[in-house]
Structure 1
Amino acid sequence: MLAMPEVNYIKHLRENEDLSINEIVRKTGKNWRTVKKYADGEVPQENLVFNKGGMMYEDGFGEIVDCWLEEDLKLKKKDRRTNMAMYKQLCREYEFKGSYRTVCDYIQHRKPKIKEENNKRYERLEHPPGEAQVDFGNMTVVKDGAYKDIKALILSFPFSNAGFAYPLPAENSECFLEGLKQLFNQAGGVPTYLRIDNLSAAVVSIGKGEKRIYTDNFLRLQSHYGFEVQACNPASGHEKGNVEKKVGYTRNNFFVTAPEMQDFPQLAGWLEIKMREDRNRPHYDKGTLIEELWTKEKEHLKTLPISDLPIYSIDSLIINKYGEIKVDGERFTIHKGSIKQSLVIKKEWDIFTCFTSDGEIVYQESRPYMNKTRVIPWDDILEDWSRKPRVIKYSRFFKYLPERVQVYLTINPEETKNRVKGLKTLLDKHSLNAINESLNDEKLLGRTPHELGHILEAKKSVYPEKLDEIHTPFVLLDYETDLESYDKRLFPNMGGRIS
């Protein structure tokens, strides 16, 4: 349809300048039939817009196409059906009598609206008891006076909103499977269905639709515990929305501020207690206590297997010319091995063990990520405390100081400000642990930071006590060498002396 100025121009050429249809075509460049329509026809009126009708809307074919469009939007573009494929499928399976153009017009009209609806609306899912969702969450703890970033594997049951959590150092396959095993033990049973994200720790590749290729270790765990897997579609976090919210809830309620960690077993025990206590609150929608709902849901879980499943992976490495192997991106020197020797590496979630081909253990060490930490910015914190010394007991960071350092800063409130400034200076040369150890002497709690610094320096310069020597023969003790006898033998012509 031509715009109104173009229609008006064609009418002007025809009526006022008395041009023929062919002359108007040459002058405007428009199609002959289009020119004829507007030159000799009536002036077009603005059409009223009504809701669309026809067989796509009235006979239910539109609902079928809508369903296909929604399904295809979850797939990669190359895997989606074309308009022609949809038209042929309608004709073949549903005896559609309309034209291909009818289908195209409908798709052109509906596809943008379906996209908009999917961006704003999520389907309310019904979760039967026994189904669970699992996901990792990033958390921060404090270990040995430094920040440590860990992963918390969260298992949630949407029916009751019960949650379980287990701390781990990484998101690799060994950690994921070990975490699942521990979570099943905490829950006292195995979920009937487990919805997971497309984690690299479990999924090798994503196929069309719901097809997934899983790792051998994950399939081994699934076979041992007997649960079914429901994998989420790519970029569809809402499909496991319960566990997504549980991850945020766990972080906000138990990891702000960062708790102190001695080791992973201690942190796991602490977190298990917190999650158990959290079930004594009402369900967000059902009004009943989560613990009561969980008691009912536990009856639908599968029984735990009698035997435990060891979690590990096997790899093989060759010792390089420097006598090293590389595990998790870090190099380790194998003193008991030889160059170009092949080793079998058994990787567990926390340690790795190196075996020779004969089964002899030649090396065992913690995996590198077990000891990774981030420094707490004590300089900035102490600078803030020096301006407001009365608030240091209420600071989130105060509990991260070693116990004797806490006492040293607060034992005399009048000296707190000076001691905070002094501690900031001491940290330029000494560690918090060294300062804490020196303060185990009660007498030093009354010393100024300046005096404490001199004491620490003196300790650093003291040589260790001489050990009792018991292996030298008695006749050689305190023996002094006569150098003149050596001179006489080496230079007899010079009278036994060297000038």
Structure 2
Amino acid sequence: MRSRVEQFAAIRRDYRVEGLSIRALADKYRVHRRTVRQALESAVPPPRKTVQRVAPRLEPFKAAIDEMLRSDLDAPKKQRHTARRVLARLVDEHDADGLSYSTVRDHIRKRRPQVAAEAGRALEAGFVPQTYRPGAEAEVDFHDLWVVLAGVKTKTALFTMRLSFSGRSAHRAFATQGQEAFLEGHVYGFDRLGGVPVDKIRYDNLNSAVKQVLFGRSRQENERWIAFRSHYGFEAWYCQPGHDGSHEKGGVEGEGGRFRRNHCVPMPVVDSIDELNAALAAADDADDHRRIANRANSVGQDWDLEKLALQPVTDEPFDTALTVTPRVDRYAQIMVRCNQYSVPARFIGHRLRVKLSASHVTVYDRATVVARHPRAVGKGTKVLDLDHYLEILTRKPGALPGATALAQARAAKMFTTEHDAWWAAARKAYGDAAGTRALVEVLLLHRHLDRVDVLAGISAALSVGSANADVVALEARKAAERRTGADRHQNSSDVAAQALLLAHHHLGAAIVDERPLPSVAPYDTLLGRQSS
């Protein structure tokens, strides 16, 4: 089928070459004579007239719609009328039956900017394209990232640092948006991106950096944040508060959404934050091959140029962890940021030094690390280590079955089915209290032997029907020797025989020795000779 331009060209050619009349041309091309005259007047067809569609059923309600749109001018952005809400109000308040959603939607799309213009309001502010120098600027922000963490749907904080020139970004997930995560995210970002921007980094008014918003762009900054900026040698540039300033760091605002849609849909399923961050790092590497909009170079190619202009990262580390000194309560717990963490029971009543990072809680007694936990997500959470309560459980064995630390150890698969089976055998052999104390002796082995060796010792003891902690200890040490190759040539039959021998040894009872009792008769003979 010919286009109108081709048809006009054919008409003009036949009129010029063949000398056909207007009527003949109209008959030949099966068009109206008016179309022939238009073709002879101009080689370019006139624009087609746009059909003005009318909606007679909507006409009586246009005034009501205008009133709703005018009320939106002073309403919060997220509480303005949608087309569906307008239709619902028309039906409920004005008996507008028979209106279709598409009719109302199309009218509102056309009418909303007109209402804003009539009121002297601009629907959207204009923007000015920006050009950035390589290595000069970056932008930082946090975004919410939902993941399935250890089987539980969990919200994490996605730290994002984006270089303004190349668009290369560094993403890091944390359990919190606290200052520890804010500072750790910067350290990771500088290392990941190969340097520090020479001019400035753009921020909104995060509490981790800003204590108070003053006049204009002046801010009262957190002293620790000031020290961090001074250490790495960069300047902070703060956006206007609220929605009005969000476009001032639009690169990182859009980056958070783009990254989540492309790499975190469906929700990542991970066992730990470290596993999640490894996946995020791989996604950042993959993004080096993408192109932003209509740029000629990829992100990675522009970054190769930009990292040469960044200032190098200082070799001297900055301690990003927060230091606090809580007191240990009678439950062998310390309270840090509304969460409780266990410490060894011997420190009950003492004050300990705690270094709180974005991912871990490390507890010190002077310079010695006495406990280390993953940082809890949320508030009101207890993170307990069963090992910290073993000395208490030796005196109070009845507290073990309902202990929170035991439940957490089972959930983390640190207290295994082998432990449970051996505990059941010990209680059956010695009773609940003595059997639980025997279990505590076995659990104490974990402090000195590798976990795999203790589990091997438990399995060996169970295989010979023993519920004796000494058997477990012996077999665990032999497993360690075999694993390291020190006892590689020991006869396996001798090992089984020794295990069977110890299997007869019970708590409070000695191994039966069938040798005859020693005699003191020779000493009596000597005494007789001495007296003579």
The TM-score with structure 2 as length reference comes to 0.47
